[in-house]
Amino acid sequence: MPNAKTDSNVQQPNQELSIAQRRAVTELLRVSPVADDLARRFQEAGFSLALVGGSVRDALLGRLGNDLDFTTDARPQDVLKIVRPWADAVWEVGIAFGTVGCIKAVEGDEGAQEYQIEVTTYRSEIYDRSSRKPDVSYGDSIEDDLVRRDFTVNAMAVALPEKEFIDPHRGLEDLARRVLRTPGTPEASFSDDPLRMMRAARFAAQLDFTVDEPVLVALRDMAERIDIVSAERVRDELNKLVLSGHPRKGLEIMVDTGLAARVVPELPALRLERDEHHRHKDVYEHSLTVLEQAMDLEDGGPDLTLRLAALLHDIGKPRTRRFEKDGRVSFHHHEVVGAKMTRKRMTALKYSGELVKDVSRLVELHLRFHGYGSGEWTDSAVRRYVRDAGPLLDRLHKLTRSDCTTRNRRKAAALSRAYDGLEERIAQLQEQEELDAIRPDLDGNEIMAALDVKPGPQVGAAYRFLLEQRLEHGPMSREAAVSVLKQWWAEQQS
């Protein structure tokens, strides 16, 4: 990149690092002809185009994928005229906010590469104090656009096709220092878009960066401003944070600054006050540790269901804490209370019904293993455990194992062996029975035929009785099931 726009009064970062990182962008653009091709089309139409924001940041970090973000002085309707004849698909979902999206496949040395592209007109976003959506106004220069970006590491651009590096706010230096700082004052940035406060926590978790102290101060002072942002946008940011590589870092920022109290108040509530006569583990720290341990057990990439369940599994403890006379602290039925609280919070954040059901069910079941004690698991207990977990069994295994945070190695080893034993018992019964689809040995039609009754509540009661028999005693032959059913029926009639 022969040219570089930057603040002349700012000391440049390490020259060797700067050259290496700029070379990474040059290499990116060399192997991405789609960028130059698109830029030429904008140039021919009399407009400018630049790679911008997260795309430049990720290129410098060596982690850019096929999602490319561009900015331009062209208005959205002009962008549509340029990209429609060129792209393989175009969508206008974000056009009200100045963004046009498209898909473009390009043949390269390694075969066809499909790029997902967003082109956004220079813009600013300013929230009214009572509004949940930004008012969009378009700018006339890339410098005006960059100053309104959320953080300096996202306020860099590469003008195309000349490949001029534009960094008016020392984003490259902050990237090298691994720090999150705003281009202007944090107060102005967060006033423009309060969701940026959550993005600060999210980027810290995703990039493993620290947050500049003035930014943290603004987060504490302005936390209540997050209330005007829609639940859906807040939820999406929370998901990205939880699914990141360092979620503890982002969650601690949210709790320490007061953001969590506005978004997930159940999390800071886990910081229970200690009593000098009644001791118990730090529930807040325990929950974050369980989350990290659950991440270590993931085998197919980040699992939002498991991570949310790990984070929220003990949120019922503050409401159920009791100080016993013998000096102990109890949290009786906190899993049941926690499941209800999980459903309420996730519903308020507009999560899907299926995800709400799965996460709250895991919270409800996370103590089930301990409820059976340390003795030998009976066949009926194993069947009920598998039946209650259903399709969540694998996640329940991981959550239960992650919930052991004791520093007592002997106790931890004993719990691990006990759960190993349970999984072995499940595997043994899986070979003998269809545990994943446990049902009575007679269906509804067979029950009605055996009892000579018509459809109604009696059939449902009989079905539940046979299910209990199946769970308690295992599979029966049809004849045995009919015999047991008729005996039960005679008792009911008498």
Give me the torsion for CA of 484, 485, 491, 494, rounded to 10°: -140
CA distance 69 to 156: 12
d(CA 100, CA 94): 6
The mean per-residue pLDDT over the stretch 92-108 comes to 88
Q: Which of 9, 32, 73 is nearest to 163 (CA)?
A: 32
Residues 168 and 190 in one domain: no
- pLDDT for the residue numbered 493: 79
Is 402 within the bounds of a domain?
A: yes
Q: Average pLDDT of the chain?
A: 85
Of 157, 177, 197, the residue that ends a domain is 177
Q: Which position has the higher pLDDT, 337 or 6?
A: 337
The residue out of 437, 467, 483 marking a domain boundary is 437
Residue 284 lies in a domain: no
Q: Tens of pLDDT along 361-397?
A: 999 999 988 766 555 677 778 888 888 888 899 999 9
Of 8, 1, 56, 15, the C-alpha closest to 173 is: 15
Q: Is the pLDDT of residue 3 over 50?
A: no
Q: Are residues 243 and 316 in the same domain?
A: no
Q: pLDDT digits over 64-82, tens only?
A: 888 999 999 999 999 999 9
258-278: average pLDDT:
82
- Residue 478 structural domain: 444-493
Number of domains in the chain: 4
Please give the torsion angle defined by the CA atoms of residues 192, 197, 203 and 209, in that order, rounded to the nearest 10 degrees: 110
Is 446 buried (19+), middle (13-18) or exposed (0-12) by CB count in 10 A? middle
Q: Give me Rg for the CA atoms of the chain.
A: 29
> Using one digit for the tens of pLDDT, what is the confidence trace for 310-332?
999 999 999 988 887 777 888 88
Q: What is the pLDDT of residues 182-228, one digit of tens each?
A: 999 999 999 889 999 999 999 999 999 999 999 999 999 999 999 99
Binned at pLDDT 50, 70 and 90, residue 276 comes out as very low
pLDDT digits (tens, 9 = 90+) for 226-257: 999 999 999 999 999 999 999 999 999 999 99
Signed CA dihedral, 75, 81, 86, 89: sign only: positive
Q: Tell me, yes or no, whether 268 lies in a domain.
A: no
Do residues 87 and 50 both lie within one domain?
Answer: yes
Task: Indicate if 303 and 247 belong to the same structural domain.
Answer: no
Over residues 41-57, the pLDDT tens digits come to: 999 999 999 999 999 88
Model confidence at 2: pLDDT above 70: no
Long-range CB contacts (within 8 A, 24+) of 440-447: 440/466, 440/467, 440/469, 440/470, 440/481, 441/466, 441/469, 441/470, 441/475, 441/476, 441/477, 441/478, 441/480, 441/481, 442/466, 442/478, 442/481, 442/482, 442/485, 446/478, 446/482, 447/485
Q: pTM for the full model?
A: 0.80
Residue 479: its pLDDT value, please? 81
pLDDT of amino acid 264: 97
Domain boundary among 135, 158, 177: 177
Assigned domain for 269 exists: no
